[in-house]
Amino acid sequence: MYLFEENDIRKHVKLDQTAIQLIEGGFTQLAAGNVTLPPIMRIDVPEHNGEVDVKSAYIKGLDSFALKISSGFFNNPSLGLPSLSGMMMLFQSKTGLPEAVLLDNGYLTDVRTAAAGAVAANHLVKQKLQYAGVIGTGLQARLQMHALYAVRPFKAITVFGRSEEAVRVYASEMEKALGVTVRIADSPEQVVKESEAVVTTTPSKQPLIKANWIHPGLHITAMGSDAEHKQELEAQVFTKADVIVCDVKSQCFRLGELHHAKDQGILSEETESILELGELTSMKKTGRQNESQVTVCDLTGTGVQDTVIARFAYEQLITRGRGLVLGKDTANTK
């Protein structure tokens, strides 16, 4: 079994067009019915504002699959620690034997989550994007803007965050990283009204975006709500949307923004007009059809993304001779 450390993983796996295409391929496999996708297991640690998610997926025909353990402890910044962490394991599909442990500290999850945002944007954001918006100032708020820029280059970001200092740091970093203007908003409302594409990246338990702020041509990707108690969008936002997309219907109606809309009787699991992202990547359905449509995408994160990115990382690292071999005599038993 191989053991890979974070520094090597970061060096050889990037948020780039290759990663975006890999994640897009994973969603296409999901839409084709080639994926065994078990429900997410979540362990809540409420007294420390934390949670641990376990995700996995097997893609038919592949010789390995991933098991991902991801933690989010949202008081950590006050302790000088990152909110997110985790690791991935690869298992051989034929024997079930562990093949590799990727001690990525949540990095691969960050990459695959941002890449999914790029995939959604590629199908749902208007072709000529000028003004992007983001709610949140953490790592994913940074990566989502990098991912959006990779598929729809824009000239300005409007950002809102709870901490004035964090917002100022974010604005300075992103202006240098992307060469765009970053405007600091006084409210989420300002972000929505000044932007053509908005990404929400928070663990909020209260809606941040209201339906009466929605305007023609707007796209929203909500990726913070991945548990029943989280919510970034007012449920009535979906009544304003011409196109509604999610990563997995069954999962989003249990954990995502869609489940709040279901609880309020706005949407149901039988609403046929709701599309899964894989239907767009496989060209079975069409996302945005004109510049004035309002589109919304609910992303809760899937195990198929984890298997795809973990396998890619493994291949890159093995090719370069990286990693520590444990139990050397039995490391290659496929």
pLDDT in tens, 149-180: 999 999 999 999 999 999 999 999 999 999 99
Answer whether residue 116 is part of any domain.
Answer: no
The answer to whether the beta carbons of residues 98 and 91 sit under 8 Å apart is yes
**Cβ-based neighbour number of residue 100 at 10 Å:** 25
The answer to whether the beta carbons of residues 13 and 314 sit under 8 Å apart is no
Answer whether residue 166 is part of any domain.
Answer: yes
pLDDT in tens, 173-194: 999 999 999 999 999 999 999 9
Percentage of the residues of the chain whose pLDDT score is greater than 70: 98
Average pLDDT over residues 235-244: 97
**Per-residue DSSP letters for 241-308?**
-SEEEES-HHHHHHHSHHHHHHHTTS--TT-TTEEEHHHHHTTSS----STT--EEEE----HHHHHH
pLDDT in tens, 6-65: 999 999 999 999 999 999 999 999 999 999 999 999 999 999 999 999 999 999 999 999
Whether 148 and 289 map to the same domain: the answer is yes
Answer whether residue 84 is part of any domain.
Answer: yes
Answer whether residue 115 is part of any domain.
Answer: no
Whether 277 and 147 map to the same domain: the answer is yes
Q: Write out the two tokens for 106.
A: 């949540």
pTM of the model: 0.92
Query: Which pLDDT score is estimated for 226?
Result: 79
Whether 196 and 289 map to the same domain: the answer is yes
Whether 138 and 253 map to the same domain: the answer is yes
Positive or negative, the CA dihedral 146, 219, 41, 306 is negative
Whether 72 and 150 map to the same domain: the answer is no
> Which CATH number characterizes residue 180's domain?
3.40.50.720
SS3 45: strand
Query: Which pLDDT score is estimated for 270?
Result: 85
* Token pair 């009204």 in the structure block, residue: 193
Percentage of the residues of the chain whose pLDDT score is greater than 90: 91
In angstroms, the CA 216 to CA 219 distance is 9
pLDDT interval class at 334 (50, 70, 90): very low
Give the full edge-to-edge strand order of the sheet including 295-298.
Answer: 181-184, 156-160, 131-135, 197-200, 219-222, 295-298, 243-246, 274-276
pLDDT interval class at 328 (50, 70, 90): low
Whether 281 and 138 map to the same domain: the answer is yes
DSSP 327: S
Q: What's phi and psi for 218, nearest 5 deg?
A: -75, 140
- Count of structural domains, the chain: 2
Q: Write out the two tokens for 125.
A: 């954001």
Whether 55 and 156 map to the same domain: the answer is no
**Cβ-based neighbour number of residue 268 at 10 Å:** 12
The answer to whether the beta carbons of residues 243 and 124 sit under 8 Å apart is yes
Whether 319 and 197 map to the same domain: the answer is no
Whether 52 and 194 map to the same domain: the answer is no
The answer to whether the beta carbons of residues 48 and 143 sit under 8 Å apart is no
Answer whether residue 259 is part of any domain.
Answer: yes
299 CB contacts (<8 Å, ≥6 apart)?
113, 116, 117, 120, 221, 222, 223, 246, 247, 256, 277
> Which CATH number characterizes residue 63's domain?
3.30.1780.10
Query: Which pLDDT score is estimated for 330?
Result: 46
pLDDT in tens, 253-301: 999 999 999 999 999 988 889 999 999 999 999 999 999 999 999 999 9
Whether 277 and 289 map to the same domain: the answer is yes
Whether 149 and 293 map to the same domain: the answer is yes
Range of the domain at 19: 2-109+304-330
Answer whether residue 118 is part of any domain.
Answer: no
Answer whether residue 58 is part of any domain.
Answer: yes
In angstroms, the CA 308 to CA 22 distance is 7
Whether 86 and 170 map to the same domain: the answer is no
pLDDT in tens, 79-90: 999 888 999 999
